[in-house]
Amino acid sequence: MRDGQARTRSELASITGLARSTVALRIDALMKLGLLRPVNDAISTGGRPSTQFALNVTGHSVLGVDVGASHVRVALTDLAGTVIDERSELIDIARGPVVVLEHVMTMGSELLAPSGESTTGGAAAGGSAALIAVGVGLPGPVEHASGRPINPPIMPGWDRYDVGGALGRHFGVPVLVDNDVNIMALGERELAWSGVDDLMFVKVATGIGAGVISGGVLQRGAQGTAGDLGHVYVSRGADVFCRCGNRGCLEALASGAAISRALGIETTSSGDIVALVRQGDIDAIQAVRQAGRDLGEVLTTCVSLMNPSTIVIGGALAAAGEFLIAGVREAIYTRATPFATQHLDITQSRIGANAAIAGASVMAIQFALSPERVDAMVAALGD
């Protein structure tokens, strides 16, 4: 029912192969849970018109949380991912999980309070939508199964902190936690590339990473580190040290910090580099173009291994536009096989800064409406 199309009991029985009586019982349970709603009657072919049912996107809500290096953004969305309201604050992630997550809790509670929404996962007062799940993106490696950040380089005090547990105790609903690049890949695909099943989202900013969607499914890998492109070796940087302790990492050559060092400027913002590019600074343009080539060298291997149909470049440095992407294309089209690249689209992010908050909401919705979770809700209703 998540495709938005309204259907009758008979249509659902035909699609699922279940008995009509079984379908009717399931519909009744899902309506009691507020997940389905009746809509206009179907066109009659004789006799009484059959009632149609559709997903009740406003019956429940989720919170999407985007925690960045210097900001927190929280959005309340319906089950279609449409933002109802949102809050954002500037806060340094180095202040630690207790302080930062307290801000998340406060902002989330403020968003839920105006409509009387429940923060316990149950029915809300006055029939308002109930919070059903929370999705969180963090700017560092995350063990997705536990929701705990693992040795995050820019997040002192966060290592193995139970982010999901802390927020779950406050909001009373399941909390899903992942790294920011994975959720950006989810958000970008949901809002801009819904018909693409094989997509890579590459974030280029202070660090470099990728979210990989293959066969329509986000691939996290065994420990959740799939897509960690920033520490892949690039031969041009054999003598360049990386903050991870190795030499020649892509991040040490093509990140915002690396470009700043190459230009001999002191800045903590990739936006300053983008500003130089837009002003026509030749040195900045050449440095960004070279960063694109270095990134493209690594992505060439990904093209051969994963065969994506779309590579989306996002993050703060993506605002440099064609100067960065031209370098990526130059490397990939030179090195990858023509068969792998004949229909490959290499492009800038379409939704930019909204990718992370959209992806966090999508992650929460996908979990909340998964077969296992819905079965559990129906079983609890029966109890």
pLDDT at 254: 95
Cite the residue boundaries of each domain of the chain with CATH code 3.30.420.40. Answer: 60-179+356-382, 194-349
Looking at residue 241, what DSSP letter applies?
A: B
pLDDT tens digits for 343-368? Answer: 999 999 999 989 999 999 999 999 99
Looking at 113-117, 147-151, 194-198, which range is the least confident one?
113-117
Q: Mind giving me the DSSP string for 28-70? A: HHHHHTTSEEEESPPPPSSSSPPPEEEE-TTSEEEEEEEE-SS
Strands across the sheet with 83-90, in order? 83-90, 71-77, 60-67, 130-138, 175-179
pLDDT at 276: 93
pLDDT at 47: 56
Query: Is the pLDDT confidence value at 142 over 70?
Result: yes
Going by C-alpha positions, the residue among 78, 107, 110, 109 that lies closest to residue 90 is: 107
Q: 217's torsion region: left (phi>0), alpha (psi -120 to 50) or beta?
A: beta
pLDDT tens digits for 9-55? Answer: 999 999 999 999 999 999 999 999 999 999 976 555 555 567 999 99
**Alpha carbon 143 to its chain's center:** 15
pLDDT grade for 122, boundaries at 50, 70 and 90: very low
pLDDT grade for 372, boundaries at 50, 70 and 90: very high
pLDDT grade for 266, boundaries at 50, 70 and 90: confident
> Angle, nearest 10°, between helix axes 270-278 and 282-306?
120
105/163 Cα distance (integer angstroms): 11
Query: Is the pLDDT confidence value at 125 over 70?
Result: no
Q: What is the mean pLDDT of residues 328-340?
A: 95
Query: Is the pLDDT confidence value at 268 over 90?
Result: no
Q: What's the whole-number average pLDDT of the chain?
A: 90
- CB atoms inside a 10 Å sphere around CB 75: 26
CATH fit for domain 60-179+356-382, picks 3.30.420.40, 3.30.420.10, 3.40.50.2000, 3.20.20.10: 3.30.420.40
pLDDT at 123: 37
Token pair for 178: 């992942």
Going by C-alpha positions, the residue among 144, 128, 279, 307 that lies closest to residue 212 is: 307
pLDDT tens digits for 168-204? Answer: 999 999 999 999 999 999 999 999 998 999 999 999 9
Task: Judge contact between 178 and 184, C-beta under 8 A.
Answer: no
Residue type at 360?
Answer: A
41/44 Cα distance (integer angstroms): 8
190/232 Cα distance (integer angstroms): 28
pLDDT at 124: 38
pLDDT at 269: 77
- Give CATH superfamily name and number for 194-349: ATPase, nucleotide binding domain (3.30.420.40)
Burial class (CB in 10 A: 0-12, 13-18, 19+), 309: middle
Token pair for 357: 């908050």
Q: What is the mean pLDDT of residues 91-105?
A: 96
22/37 Cα distance (integer angstroms): 18
For residue 187, the surrounding DSSP H or E stretch is helix 180-192
- CB atoms inside a 10 Å sphere around CB 143: 17
Looking at 20-29, 163-172, 245-254, 260-269, which range is the least confident one?
260-269
pLDDT tens digits for 49-85? Answer: 679 999 999 999 999 999 998 899 999 999 999 999 9
**Angstrom distances, CA of residue 377 to CA of 14, 56, 71:** 24, 15, 34
**Angstrom distances, CA of residue 315 to CA of 4, 56, 82, 354:** 31, 34, 22, 11
Strand partners, 130: 60, 118
